Structure 1
C-alpha cells in the first residue's frame, strides 16, 4: 500500500528525471546573451574603465571601436560562442604596459559589475572569469 509520502517521493523522483531529460542548461555563451549580450557587457565595461583612474591611463590612445570588437570576439570565443578572436597575442599586447595586480583586479571587478548590470547569473560570471584566469600571466607578463 502506497502512503502519501511514497507517492510524493515518487513524484519528486520522476520530476527530477524529467528535468534531467528536459531542456538542456544554457551554455555560457547563451547566458552571456550571445554576441549581442557580450557586446553590451563590453560597452558597459568600457564606460567603467574610462571612469576609473586606476586603469584608464592604460587605455589612452586605444582605438575604442577596435578594442570593443576584439574584446567582444575574445569573450565570445572564450564563452564557447561561434566567434574567433583575431587580435594580437595577450603577451605582445600588454608587453609595455607594466600592469599591476591592482589594475588587473580592477578590470576584473569592472567586468563582473558589467555582467551583473546585464543580468548575467552569478554562476555564469564565475565561469567566464575562470576562463579568463589563464590569460593572467600573459597580461601581467610574468
Structure 2
C-alpha cells in the first residue's frame, strides 16, 4: 500500500465552490465596469446586454469544472462567446491584471495562481484577436 497521499485537486485547494464564487463575484464586478475594457464598444455592449448574475453563475460553473470540481459548464465555448468582440492583446492584459489583483485580494497562494493562469491562458487563442504587426518601410 502506498504511503503517498493523493494531492488535492485545484478545486479543493481553492476552497471549493463557495470560495470560487466569491472570487468570481469580485472579479466580474471589476471587469464589467473597467473603462479600458469598455472602451471597446463590442465589449461594452456585451457587458450591458448580459445579466451580471447570470454571467457570474456561468463563470463560477466553468471555474468549478476546470479546477476539478463536480460542476459542469453549460455556457457557450470561449470561441463562440468572444470571437465577435474583437478583443485585443492589450485588453487581455487588463483582464489578466484584474484577475491577478482579485486572486491577491483573496490571498490565493502563488502555486494555485500559476495553475489558474495556465488554465485561463489556454483560452487566450479563442478570445484575443491577434493583429498583424505592421512592417517598417
Runs of 4+ aligned structure 1 residues displaced above 3 Å come to 20-26
Unaligned runs of 5+ in 2: 131-137
Matched, 1:73 2:32: no
Distance in 2, Cα, partners of 1:24 & 1:97: 41
1:119-130 equivalent positions in 2, closer than 5 A: 119-130=107-118
- Structure with greater Cα Rg: 1
Distance in 1, Cα, partners of 2:35 & 2:67: 29
Deviation at 1:78, TM superposition (A): 1.0
Structural RMSD (CA) = 2.0
Deviation at 1:66, TM superposition (A): 0.9
The answer to whether the 8 A contact 1:31-1:121 is kept is no
Of 12, 21, 37, 1:30 maps to 12
**26-35 or 79-88: bigger deviation:** 26-35
TM-score (structure 1 length as normaliser): 0.77
Distance in 1, Cα, partners of 2:15 & 2:80: 30
Deviation at 1:31, TM superposition (A): 2.1
Unaligned runs of 5+ in 1: 1-19
The answer to whether the 8 A contact 1:91-1:141 is kept is no
Write out per-residue CA displacement over residues 6-30 of structure 1, whole angstroms, 9 at most, x where no aligned residue: xxxxxxxxxxxxxx94765432112
The residue aligned with 1:138 is 126
Deviation at 1:120, TM superposition (A): 1.1
Distance in 2, Cα, partners of 1:83 & 1:122: 24
Distance 1:86 1:141, change over 3 A: farther
